[in-house]
Structure 1
């Protein structure tokens, strides 16, 4: 079984490389294979070189954000044992977005590290609020109650974002595309700022894999096996919130990546978090890069923001999951 899983991981990594090359090659102007190789080697000049120079940081950002959102979703599902958990559905992305918008509108926030800090704080507050509301009443935090609480919170926070932005035309114009979620306009400076935070969050959740496996057995049995349930859940949730907050700060709220990818990856490598989390990161990066390429190609010479493409993919998948009677908890 480990050999099969390793083969899947290798195949996923290979597909990811091909998607990254496609992301660099396709856009408003297609680049031939010869031009692409020459540009990557630094031997090309002119339009081809300029196109590659603009698309490479965009591709890298899409890889990082896709992996971060997928890891965040997989970890939230494991921590809450809720198959419907996702940064967007649970309102975590909306909390990060609202915090960033408030920081910009009322406090003149412009520092990139400030963006990440307030986005992470907003994501954490939203996550705690949704979990608290979903835990009320009989049965505690059931998947359905968490999904409903998250959907209501996400709608309320999105409305607050609009309420803050609408009277401020200058901010609205600047961040209207950020609200949708996208990786256009990526710059190496922004990537350099956010990459350490995404790396830290990824390390936290991957190292929590063994503890997350025991949480799937139930809190009582996990505690009997020597797992410190609260600490494991808190540390893993911290990593997930950091991933979601940093990704939202740099790319805006992008939904459904953290929902779709973990479910598909479980069908391939199973539920062992030690394999699932790395494979989820690869698949999430691939999905966001593919969605970005699709958005650039189908509407050429215009673009469809990647947040819209992932919503078109993820919404039917979410409905399918909800309609499955047997999917109640992980």
Structure 2
């Protein structure tokens, strides 16, 4: 239902019959059909992909740190993506969304690998506390670098702020394929290690007793988070609360088991972000409110309510 609303609703309303015709028999001379085919359909697919990626990345990150309040930014993914986008704008003057994606994805991956190296996960089994501390340090350093560039180069700031707001406005079909590939691979890894995450929920020693390798599982979990959160951040900019709220809702509804929680988080987060994107399009017509702002307005009350009711289970 939300996907249908995402295609129908916008600054210009398109009736469902026209949308159906645009999907099954598109007319290249009809501007309504072109709007559906070139703008709204790719945007809807991208919102679903990004939402699912953030939800699953949040669940996996919480499993890695054994902290139900963890989110993907703890690995420095958001800070790395932002620093790389700023660098691309400064050095090569990248101005297109397609260029932002590759810079942001590379920055997110490099930041996460650096955090893993600093946390010692490349030499021995990862320690969640060391990973979080390394991620926090990396985020501070990269955030300082990003701020220094933006303060000293106003032209870069003018371009960067449109990406940094966390929006799907202006994203077309060219953005979807590279993002979809990374997210599908990341989702596949998360689903493949879900049983191992369940085994390690009681600690590394308990997991080893069940035949699970903690180092291998944490490394694969890290790769999954990098692919999911990196691709999502590259495509839409930093979006908060989705990766934090979706796993909390999932645990309240389906329990803490990651075999069920991972796919459920994908559905919840995709629905949450779709709702935020649709609401943002109509809330301040004829302008548009960024999805990151609306998702925070939706996610924050849900998060607070879950905490107040003490429905946030321990891991």
Q: TM-score range by the shorter chain?
A: 0.7 to 0.9
TM-score (norm 2): 0.84
Tell me the residue number matched to 2:201. Answer: 216
Tell me the residue number matched to 1:229. Answer: 214
Tell me the residue number matched to 1:74. Answer: 59
Tell me the residue number matched to 1:15. Answer: none
TM-score (norm 1): 0.81
Tell me the residue number matched to 2:68. Answer: 83
**What secondary structure sits across from 1:268 in the alignment?**
helix
Gaps of 5+ in 1: 1-17, 133-139
Identify the range of structure 1 (314-323 vs 38-47) with the bigger mean alpha-carbon deviation: 314-323
**Alignment partners' CA distance in 2, 1:318 and 1:142:** 24
Structure 2 CA distance for partners of 1:256 and 1:159, relative to 1, 3 Å: farther
**Alignment partners' CA distance in 2, 1:56 and 1:68:** 18
Could you tell me whether the CA contact under 8 Å between 2:56 and 2:262 is conserved in 1?
yes
Could you tell me whether the CA contact under 8 Å between 1:120 and 1:244 is conserved in 2?
no
Tell me the residue number matched to 2:123. Answer: none
Tell me the residue number matched to 2:158. Answer: 173
**Alignment partners' CA distance in 2, 1:318 and 1:127:** 29
Write the mapping of 1:133-282 to structure 2, written as runs, cut at 5 A.
146=132, 154=139, 157-282=142-267
**What secondary structure sits across from 1:166 in the alignment?**
helix
Structure 2 CA distance for partners of 1:40 and 1:326, relative to 1, 3 Å: closer
**Alignment partners' CA distance in 2, 1:191 and 1:39:** 19
Could you tell me whether the CA contact under 8 Å between 2:83 and 2:107 is conserved in 1?
no
**Alignment partners' CA distance in 2, 1:38 and 1:244:** 35
Structure 2 CA distance for partners of 1:262 and 1:326, relative to 1, 3 Å: closer
Gaps of 5+ in 2: 121-126
Tell me the residue number matched to 2:17. Answer: 34
C-alpha RMSD over aligned residues: 3.0
Tell me the residue number matched to 1:51. Answer: 35
Could you tell me whether the CA contact under 8 Å between 2:252 and 2:311 is conserved in 1?
no
Tell me the residue number matched to 1:64. Answer: 49
Number of aligned positions between the proteins? 303
